[in-house]
Chain A
Amino acid sequence: MFIIDGIILLLTSNLILTQALGTSTLFIAAESRKKLLGTALTITFFTTAGSAAAYFINNLMTEKFKNLTLLFYTLTIGLLYMIILILLYFTGKEKFRDIRKYVHISAFNCAVMGTLFTVTETAKFYPERNNINDFMLSGLQAGAGFLITAFILTAAYKRLTSSDVPASFRGFPAMLVYLGIISMAVYALK
């Protein structure tokens, strides 16, 4: 029961199914299981570490400078992007070549930046959630949500791109309609 509750929570607070954040990246990730896992793990790193950084940025920044929030978030993600690439480079050149594509896809996309803004908005509405643990947990939850949605899409990927689907709707259009139906089911769960 606990596991089912957890899955329902991840689905109803899912950023892709409820806010369409990171949909384009999801389509790239769903192509293969390897790509899916690589992209989801990298996105989870960015959302978790980024959310932690967002907590400090929000608390250090005064209301007067609220228009600079995006700039500071961008600089944070940029810094994480560089750190992860440098770490990968020194881990091994082959590993670097294999993994860097996931980092490039994951760094600046709506799933990551959207998480930072959504976590911040939530903390404004629920001040008791304005602490580092909740920020990081929400970031982790966003990454896990991405992974679940990517799994749901991967399960149907072959069929949605098969020749059974009319050529005009094959691939991306069919995937959007499929995600729409899943999103409708999640909407009903709320």
Chain B
Amino acid sequence: MNRKNSVFDGLLNDNTVLSSFMVISPIIICGDTLRNAVALIYAFSAITFLSVMFGSFVPQKLPYALKIIIYAVISSLVYIPVRLAAEQFFPDIIPRIGIYFMLLAVNSLITVQTEAKFYRMKRGRMILSLIFYIVGFDTVMLITASVRELLAYGTVYDRIVDADILISGLGKPFGGFIFLGLFCGVYRKIRFMANHLKGAN
């Protein structure tokens, strides 16, 4: 694997949500407005980055199950200051996000992917790769929230826009499932086409 591939994998080829199918519940349930999305992006980015960084100091010789528990405990500890800061930055959003804020602390990127991917890399490459995995999630969350807010409520960041057609179901959980499914299909189609073009060249 060359350096360029490793760095961009999390953003395009191996996107956390669209390729690896991880951390999808906050996107389906809370990814219906940009305000929610910004708070979740902050929480996910801060908790995941700090937890993976601290977790990288855990001795690799320990049994697998024990390491997973230690990673989960580390992220539960990282959650506390992140939550306290979020209560200052997003006081009205935190109650709306509810349990999904806490669930971000035990996301699969921390508990599973660390062992399978990040801790097999050298530290510098791991940091770069981790950043792009986080950005990959953030991008999907932003796109999903923008489109769903616009089409479901006719607003963008709570500002009313001139939308002719509203599909209120997109703001509901089933709308989240369907939208994410379609988004994933379109993403794959684009990837197929890009690979096809690369092959032709």
List residues of chain A with CB under 8 Å of any chain B CB. 17-24, 27, 67-71, 73-75, 77-78, 81-82, 85, 104, 107-110, 113-114, 117-118, 121, 166-169, 172-181, 183-184, 187
Contacts and interface: CB of A to CB of B under 8 A. Distances in A.
Interface residues of B, number: 46
Interface string B98-116: 1100110110100100000
Given A68-B80, A121-B99, A176 B73 contact: no
24 contacts: A17-B173, A19-B25, A20-B173, A20-B176, A22-B25, A23-B24, A24-B108, A68-B80, A74-B69, A75-B73, A81-B68, A82-B69, A108-B72, A110-B25, A168-B188, A168-B192, A169-B181, A172-B181, A173-B184, A173-B185, A176-B181, A181-B174, A187-B172, A187-B174
Contacts of B21: 24, 27, 172
A70 B105 contact: yes
A19 B173 contact: yes
Interface string B67-103: 0110011011101100110000000000000110011
Contacts of B52: none
Contacts of A179: 177, 181
Tell me whether chain A's interface is mostly helix, strand or loop, or mixed.
helix
Interface of B: 21-25, 28-29, 64-66, 68-69, 72-73, 75-77, 79-80, 83-84, 98-99, 102-103, 105-106, 108, 111, 169, 172-178, 180-182, 184-186, 188-189, 192
Contact of B103 (A113, A178, A180, A181): A113
A69 to B, nearest CB: 8
Given A82-B65, A175-B181, A117 B72 contact: no
A85 B177 contact: no
